Amino acid sequence: MPKKVVIIGGGFAGVNLAKKLAGNESFDITLVDKNNYNFFPPLLYQVATGYLETSNITYPFRKLFRGKKNFMFRLGELEEVLPQQKQVILSTGTVNYDYLVFATGCETNYFGMDNVAKHAIPMKTVADALQMRNTLLERLEEASRSTDPVERKKLLTVVVAGGGPTGVEISGMFAEMKRTILAKDYPELKGADGEIHLVDGLKSVLAPMSEKSQQYTYDTLTKMGVKVKLNVMVKDFVNDTVHFADGSTIEAKNLIWAAGVTAMTFKGMPEEAYGKGKRLQVDEFNKVKGLEDIYAIGDTCIQLTDPGFPQGHPQLAQVALQQGDNVGKNMIRVEENQFPKAFSYVDKGTMAIIGRNKAVADLPKPKLFFSGFIAWAMWLFIHLISLINSGNRIKTLYNWMIAYFTKDQSLRMIVRPASKKL
């Protein structure tokens, strides 16, 4: 009988594992996700700022695996795991498994700050990106009507919390939009005093990258008009004011939260299975410690057995892709009476885009640093080929070409879902 493999989560790790096993008659695959589509997180900020359509970075699971007879998709959310019975209880029913794989990624971490969680704009899902686009466009419209200069400045000021790639990329995008688009679309706002702030609790932006990348990014953002505030943490967000731990404040209605993530916990999983950041502790084969036939891959797990990463792997797409691939190969090896292979991460480099013709890239082997147009072209190429299918690549390239040559885009629509329930 084929082994029943249940994969919870259809991100980079889950989809890569499903692809590895799809078409193999030794397995029956059930992919579970609360959305019926896969999406590409690195380009969420371009959907949020109106440079890409949602369809550019999303693709339906059922179409992706069309024709794979051993694949089934189940729309739903995980509610409980029953390890003894080898079952998972979903919001849409109960599913049996021989192998259970957690590929649930992570969620936004507000570090216990209730006001930030309530009022800040997150950047983790497609729904977040669309909500951010609507919110910022609505505030631009409100600012264009306002006659109070203080209120107008609050509406136009954006504070981006988090100096990682997402924070850097969205800050740079806002700076370019302010310079090239705002005056054309909103002539009423000519000369308005809105500001863009990028804040982080660490001593540098892009902390995991090289010092050259950090310095180039800081200098470039500053030249673009972004006010970079380092070594300070957000403490609260109340009454249109961002409060920091050092006592300073910034008056703004827009706080974009890209400052941290945390893994999710699930009913039925023992507390001792979780490690730092609520990530599931796994062995060298990505099997959850203390449990049989339960695996975790990608951002939701922490693996301390890789000699090159004794503190665990970074929560990056490449780690998720490689772990999904390795677990899939190991399942096939076991079915063929071969020994599984321990996971070893191959670091292919890190990059971040800052703006038009401006980016940074660090390559580990050989150790190289690129900046400016070359790094920008590398970023575009890598992200383009990483999209899940050729249709997404063509649509994204088309939108990028329009944006590059016109320094503009026509996707800034406020689209609100109907409130009526059918």
212-247 pLDDT, tens digit per residue, is 999 999 999 999 999 999 999 999 999 999 999 999
Q: pLDDT band for position 98 (50/70/90)?
A: very high
What would the mean pLDDT of 360-376 be, rounded to a whole number? 93
Residues 6+ apart with CB under 8 A from 174: 49, 158, 160, 196, 226
**Rounded Cα–Cα distance for residues 99 and 91 (Å):** 20
- Helix (H), strand (E) at residue 376: helix 373-386
Query: Does residue 319 or residue 417 have the better pLDDT?
Result: 319
**Rounded Cα–Cα distance for residues 335 and 330 (Å):** 9
Residues 6+ apart with CB under 8 A from 159: 197, 199, 242, 250, 252, 254, 255, 256
- Decide if pLDDT at 301 tops 90: yes
Render pLDDT for 248-273 as a digit per residue (tens, 0 to 9).
999 999 999 999 899 999 999 999 99
Q: Which domains does the chain have, with CATH numbers?
A: 3-106+263-335 (3.50.50.60), 114-261+350-406 (3.50.50.100)
Give the residue among 148, 251, 150 at the shortest CA–CA distance from 197.
251
Q: pLDDT band for position 422 (50/70/90)?
A: low
- Burial (CB < 10 A; 0-12, 13-18, 19+), residue 141, is middle
**Rounded Cα–Cα distance for residues 256 and 269 (Å):** 32
> What's the confidence (pLDDT) of residue 309?
93
| Mean pLDDT taken over the chain | 94
- Decide if pLDDT at 391 tops 80: yes
Q: pTM, whole model, 2 decimals? A: 0.92
Render pLDDT for 140-176 as a digit per residue (tens, 0 to 9).
999 999 999 999 999 999 999 999 999 999 999 999 9
- Burial (CB < 10 A; 0-12, 13-18, 19+), residue 386, is middle
The residues assigned a catalytic role are 169
Render pLDDT for 24-80 as a digit per residue (tens, 0 to 9).
999 999 999 999 999 999 999 999 998 899 999 999 999 999 999 999 999 999 999
> What's the confidence (pLDDT) of residue 409?
80
